[in-house]
A and B are shown apart, each in its own frame.
Chain A
Amino acid sequence: MSAPSREFDVEAIRADFPILTRMLDPDTPMIYLDGGATSQRPRQVIDAEVSYLYSDNAAVKRGAHRMAGLATDAYEGARERIAEFIGAPSPDEVVFTKNATEALNLVAHSLGSGDASTPPRLRVREGDEILVTEMEHHANLVPWQELARRTGATLRWIPVADDFTLDLTDLDSLVTERTKVIAFTHQSNVLGTLNPVGRLVEAARGVGALTVLDAAQSAPHMPFDVAELGVDLVALSGHKMLGPTGIGVLWGRYELLEQMPPFLTGGSMIELVDMERSTFAEPPARFEAGTPPISQAVGLAAACDYLDALGMEQIAAHEKALTQQALAGLAGIDGVRIIGPALSAERSGAVSFDVAGRHPHDVGQVLDSLGIEVRVGHHCAWPLHRRFGVHGTTRASFSVHTTAAEVDAFVDGVAHTIDFFGSLS
């Protein structure tokens, strides 16, 4: 069993997560291996949100009273913190959304607004092409399908190879002068595959296409820097990075956001309004119509503090050791097929697998009886499952608080599941 690094004290970390002491039955502790769906929150995140609500809560960016000022400072302070966490050159490039899905929809709708005053680079029209990949979460697929449908553009996709990585063999013919957008996931929520961002950015730049990165699964688990990645727009999820639900982030290069038409409209995003028309505020306000998720932003900033204090390099190393342990353990069980690459630098801690002859719901049910909480089904990536001829998979995903003992229990649990159904037949 691989021990986590000396400075990474998992037991101390676990003490920060009140929910981890929960029992599912009187003698069944809860083993939470579903951070890929939603992460548990440390006390520091919960406390930050509560503390804001206890002392500073008000509507932001309106009203002249002192409370409005305190709330606005908290909200804008959170924006600065998140900008720092992702390496954004300016907090004005950080847009708060409801979730990562809304961030991606924001981009897809803005690019398809049909506004003739928008520069051609930021307008998707009939005859244009949108390139995605076969391993996308529905959140980074369906908005592009819909954009293509609304505009008459063509949706194309990079296939996934048998080794669970993107098949870039035909990349040169998939990326054409007509390509306006390349939207892809940084890390597959099913396979764990980390995609070659640099290669895709280079291909996009060659034809002047925008790159949109779905970083919901990657940013919480490894050092993440938008400037280094070189992409144009990034979607993040608060609740997958130890933060609250109800908040996501769109990061975009300011020179692009500045020229992009709004998605949702209404209060807070305007410059001037008369009865016939309105003009819009500069980013990020232009993309934040209505009262934003304020306490959630404060909680998300606290999550960034928490992650940074642990160290993203250390988190990545910890989760890599657990992933290695899980892959090695599962490899020793007859009938288990890993749907994802072998451990290498290009993979992280989402481990999906098929158990021969058993539906993932049944597998998850037996694991749950042992207190092991995993995700089952198609994980919002239906086309990817079809690609590998499976109806669904069972997925364990590892977090900062996951222990080697929990991974052992999980591997034993999978073996037990096979025995359980074997004993019934």
Chain B
Amino acid sequence: MSSPLSSLYTELVIEHDKRPLHAGLREPFTSEVHHVNPTCGDEITLRLQLTDGRTRIEDVSYDAVGCAMSRASASIMADLLIGRTTAEVEPVQEHFEAAMRSRGRLAGDEELIGDGIALLGAAKFPARVKCVLMSWKAYQAALVEAQTLGA
């Protein structure tokens, strides 16, 4: 096994892929989005439940079909988001996305992105960046939808 491959399929990624956290679609939810990666056909349906005047993420539930990277990413992301405010999450999401798009130049701040650090191996595989970011894009879209609902 060559080392780049083990930097991609880290123990944490495999663990999240096999036993994803917060998986499954739950109610109630403020918004729901469905995202597809048309090149590989991967899909995610993501529900976001906001409280406290739509500032606190009470729940993120999802149904994801995809590769190990995309499934692990959804699991890690949901775990990072739930229980925090959307404002707290914003720098997490920005830092994670920047690191993912850095082709490995940005090491990533574990304080900020927690288990998300385990996904950064994919940053060196340009074809896999989209796999990892699909759930994060879904969250962003769900957030926009939730915050503009009836606004």
Partner of A362, one of B4, B18, B65, B68: B68
How many chain B residues have a CB neighbour from A under 8 Å?
21
Any B CB within 8 A of the CB of A366: yes
Set of chain B residues within 8 Å of A361, measured between Cβ atoms: 40, 42, 66-67, 69, 128, 131
Q: Given the known inter-chain contacts A359-B67, A391-B65, A425-B14, please indicate yes or no for A365 contacting B8, CB distance below 8 A.
A: yes
Contact across chains for B40 and A366 when beta carbons are under 8 A apart = no
Q: How large is the interface on A (under 10, 10 to 19, 20 to 34, 35 or more residues)?
A: 20 to 34
Contact across chains for B125 and A365 when beta carbons are under 8 A apart = yes
Set of chain A residues within 8 Å of B65, measured between Cβ atoms: 391
Set of chain B residues within 8 Å of A378, measured between Cβ atoms: 40-41
Partner of B40, one of A25, A392, A420, A424: A392
Set of chain A residues within 8 Å of B2, measured between Cβ atoms: 25, 28, 369
Set of chain B residues within 8 Å of A392, measured between Cβ atoms: 40-41
Interface of A, secondary structure class, is helix
Any B CB within 8 A of the CB of A377: yes
A359 to B128, CA, bound (A): 13
Any A CB within 8 A of the CB of B5: yes
Contact across chains for B11 and A424 when beta carbons are under 8 A apart = yes
Q: B13's closest neighbor in chain A, by CB?
A: A424
Q: B14's closest neighbor in chain A, by CB?
A: A424
Which A325-367 residues have a C-beta within 8 angstroms of B?
Answer: 359-362, 365-366
A377 to B67, CA, bound (A): 10
Set of chain A residues within 8 Å of B131, measured between Cβ atoms: 361
Any B CB within 8 A of the CB of A382: yes
Any A CB within 8 A of the CB of B9: yes
Partner of B66, one of A25, A359, A385: A359
Set of chain A residues within 8 Å of B39, measured between Cβ atoms: 377
Any A CB within 8 A of the CB of B87: no
Interface positions of B (Cβ within 8 A of A):
1-2, 4-5, 8-9, 11, 14, 18, 39-42, 65-69, 125, 128, 131
